[in-house]
Structures are given as C-alpha cells and as structure tokens.
C-alpha cells in the first residue's frame, strides 16, 4: 500500500510503501536507523540485517543525506517515537544518491542558512514553522467564511499608496507610473460598500531599508473591511479572530509546536477579550517605567511596544493614537479630533504590532480636507472620494501581518524564518 508518513497510523502492522528522503542515519552493527521525511512528516526506519536482502542492506549503507528512495516496511506503533510510530524496513528502491548536501546536521549560522533557504526548508524546524503558517492561513479562511465575509482580491500593481506614503516600489505600467501594493485596504473599502463584509489575503511591499528581526520588504496581509461597523465592533472581531487562530494552531499543530520547543502556556490563555489601553495611558505607563525618549505625539518604537506588552498577559490593544502619526483615512474621535478611532494590537513576548486597524472617515467633506492636508492631488485617489459620495456608511477595517503573527505563535526569534522565500534587501530569489 502506497501512503505517506502522515497517514501511517491507518496502517499499523501492515506493509506500506512511502517515497522519502533521508535526513540522517546511524548504524549499530547489524541494525541501521534511518531518519526519513516525505514532506508530510518524519519517521524513523529500522533495518535489521538478517531481515532484509543483501541488496537492500548494501543500498541502505550507501545512503547519504537527502538521498531519495522508496521505502517499504511494516508500520509499528512506538510510544517512544516522536510521531508515535516506527517503520520496520523490508526493502528499498533507490531513486538518487545525493552528494555533498551543504546543510549537514552540525550547527550553521543564520546567514548561511538563509543563503541556502531553498534547501533549509527541508529541516524539521522550518517544516514545523511553515506548517503552522499553513494552519493560520487555513484558520483565517474558516473564521471569515464562518462570519459571512467574502474574499476579494485587490490589485498588486496600483496607481497610488494606501497610506499616503513614499515608501513604495516604483515601476512603469506601459506609459504610466505604478507601484507594488502597500495595502489592499482602499480597494477593500470599495468592496465592503458592495458586499458588506469582505477580506483580502495577499502580498504587500514596503520599500523600507529596515533590517531587523521584525521587518520584511515583502509580506502577506489579511485585510478585512466591514460596512455598518464602528471601531468598538471591529475590535471585538479582531480579538475573536486572533483567539481563533491561536486555538486552531494549538488544536491542529501540537507536534509542530513541540518540534519548536514552544512554551504552550504562553498560548493556551490567548482568548478574547483582550485588554485595552489608550495611547495617552501608554505614554504615562512608559514614563513610569523610565522611558524618557518618547513624548506625546510620537510613534512607539520596538522597545516601547515591548514594554507596553509586558504589562499584560494577553495581546493588548493600544487605542486612539494622535491624528498626526496615523493614516489620512482614519476617523477622528468625536469631541477630540487630535486623536483617531484606531488601535494597534501588540503581541506578547516582544513580538510587536500584529494588527493595525481603525474606523474609516465616512464624511465626504472631512476626507476632502484630509486630501488637502496630505497633498493627495493625484487623480488616482478620486474614486476613493466617491465611496463617501454615494451611500457612505460607518465602516471599519484592519490588517493582520501574517509573518509577524506566525513568528509570535511559533515563538521564534527572526521573522525571516516565517516566509518560505523571504526577499530581504539584496536576498532576491529568481
């Protein structure tokens, strides 16, 4: 029976055939222990010399790291094995003997591993990280489908910036200027006026020369927009969404979390509701903690976000930032126009902002005023005004950064490990 490692539990005490690669091996006289992977999981194969043919024994002796072959064997239940199962090998059919595989079982530096990212993906650690990433993506679709959202795909090439920013990758679209998308939000607002509740999920690009463990030039964003939804209602959706993601990973990826050595106690209590703190109170908190490098009206840096997050056991919403440091489309707080109806969700353990969201301006005249203040004279923004001209309603939205969320859930140090092929600065894959 041909199967995969992930399904061997269905074939206990039966003979199966699996296409595999060798990750490592060791020998103890007349027994060979083969560490095998097939893309769905990892399992140990055991060859006993007296129980296999001479040809199979010799073929196994010559196996090198990442050699590919079909292995035939009996599935045995073994509670000592990481997967709970072991394969008693009865035969091998070699596809290729690999030579000089560069990532050996010894320790390697991060830069070396990133230079060999196309091969590093095969390791058990990277395998676990990207399986958790996949679960977060799967759970995202489940959450929004269950809450009656429609997925809409915004363009990747745009004629303007969603944030009114200059940190854009410029290109030419025939005879016109175009930019790689910084956010699909403006388009999602248009879609929300048609469908009520929508979300997008796609790549975004920031032309910022920032080489930190928190930043990528290309990353993936989940961006919901909701008509007839105010800021507080949006916060409830955000905290329920993040709680759902974490609990889904705990439920469906226990072996991957174990591979990463993740402290599960840090995740098990991630359940809505989340605490909230205003920007005003966050500034006061930082001052009380001895931070003298931040004043009201300035944005938080990584140390500030970490200090705020450490004051709570759960992700925390920082609300009502100053208008001057937020995007032009955010709705001012009624009665206090120097701050806006917005929130950043800070993850625990120093992972920083994973969500940014706000209630959007729905008043046509106020949005025109913001256009003037931000010098948004490009005709490419005209259609966005028309959303307030024809049936404007209160509406809110947010964006969750996938890679930073994956890094937090996995408990890993560097965000580059959360992207299959990170395009960071000069590390460009073809």
CATH of domain 5-96: 2.40.50.140
Instruction: Tell me which residue has tokens 């970490």.
Output: 306
Q: Which two tokens stand for residue 376?
A: 């948004």
Query: Average of pLDDT values for 189-205?
Result: 96
Considering the chain, what is the average pLDDT of its residues?
Answer: 92
What number is the average pLDDT over the span 207-228?
A: 80
pLDDT recorded at residue 122? 93
pLDDT reported for residue 214 = 58
pLDDT at 426: 37
What is the model's pTM?
Answer: 0.92
Residue 123 predicted with pLDDT over 60: yes
pLDDT of 162 above 80: no
Q: Where is 303: in which H helix or E strand?
A: helix 302-309
Q: What superfamily in CATH does domain 117-418 come from?
A: Bira Bifunctional Protein; Domain 2 (3.30.930.10)
- Residue range(s) occupied by CATH 3.30.930.10 in the chain: 117-418
Q: Give the residue carrying structure tokens 């307030």.
A: 388
CA atoms in the 13 A half-sphere facing the CB of 237: 29
Average pLDDT over residues 109-119: 89
Ranges in the chain annotated CATH 2.40.50.140: 5-96
pLDDT tens readout for residues 301-356:
999 999 999 999 999 999 999 999 999 999 999 999 999 999 999 999 999 999 99
What is the crossing angle of helices 382-389 and 185-195, to 10°?
A: 30
Q: Can you read off the two tokens belonging to residue 346? A: 């800070």
Which residues neighbour 189 within 8 Å (Cβ) at sequence distance 6 or greater? 225, 360, 384, 387, 395, 397
Q: How high is the pLDDT of residue 215?
A: 65
């Amino acid at each position: 029976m041909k199967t995969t490692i992930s399904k061997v539990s269905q074939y206990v005490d039966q003979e199966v055939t699996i296409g595999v690669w060798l990750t490592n091996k060791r020998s103890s006289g007349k027994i060979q222990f083969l560490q095998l992977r097939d893309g769905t999981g990892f399992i140990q194969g055991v060859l006993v010399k007296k129980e296999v043919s001479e040809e199979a024994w010799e073929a196994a002796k010559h196996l090198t790291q990442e050699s590919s072959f079909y292995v035939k064997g009996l599935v045995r239940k073994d509670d000592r094995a990481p997967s709970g199962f072991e394969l008693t090998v009865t035969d091998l059919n070699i596809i290729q003997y690999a030579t000089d595989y560069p990532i050996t079982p010894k320790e390697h530096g991060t830069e070396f591993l990133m230079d060999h990212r196309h091969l590093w993906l095969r390791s058990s650690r990277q395998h676990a990280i990207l399986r958790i990433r996949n679960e977060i993506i799967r759970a995202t679709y489940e959450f929004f489908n269950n809450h009656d959202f429609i997925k809409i795909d915004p363009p990747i090439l745009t004629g303007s910036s969603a944030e009114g920013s200059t940190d854009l990758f410029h290109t030419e679209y025939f005879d016109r200027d175009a930019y790689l998308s910084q956010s699909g939000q403006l388009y999602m607002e248009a879609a929300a006026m048609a469908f009520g509740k929508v979300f997008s999920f796609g790549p975004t690009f920031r032309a910022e020369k920032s080489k930190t463990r928190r930043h990528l030039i290309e990353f993936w964003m989940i961006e919901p927009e909701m008509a007839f939804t105010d800021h507080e209602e949006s916060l409830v959706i955000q905290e329920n969404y993040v709680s759902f993601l974490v609990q889904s990973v705990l439920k469906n990826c226990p072996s991957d979390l174990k591979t990463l050595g993740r402290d599960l106690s840090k995740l098990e209590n991630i359940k809505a509701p989340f605490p909230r703190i205003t920007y005003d109170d966050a500034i006061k908190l930082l001052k009380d903690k001895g931070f003298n490098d931040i004043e009201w009206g300035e944005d938080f840096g990584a140390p500030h976000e970490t200090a705020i997050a450490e004051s709570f056991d759960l992700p925390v919403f920082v609300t009502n930032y100053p208008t001057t440091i937020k995007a032009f489309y955010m709705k001012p707080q009624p009665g206090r126009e120097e701050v806006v109806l917005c929130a950043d969700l800070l993850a625990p353990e120093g992972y920083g902002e994973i969500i940014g969201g706000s209630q959007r301006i729905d008043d046509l005249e106020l949005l025109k005023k913001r256009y003037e203040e931000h010098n948004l004279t490009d005709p490419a923004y005209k259609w966005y005004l028309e959303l307030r001209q024809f049936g404007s309603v209160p509406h809110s939205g947010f964006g969750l950064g996938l890679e930073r969320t994956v890094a937090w859930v996995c408990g890993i140090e560097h965000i580059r490990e959360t992207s299959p092929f990170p395009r960071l600065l000069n590390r460009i894959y073809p």
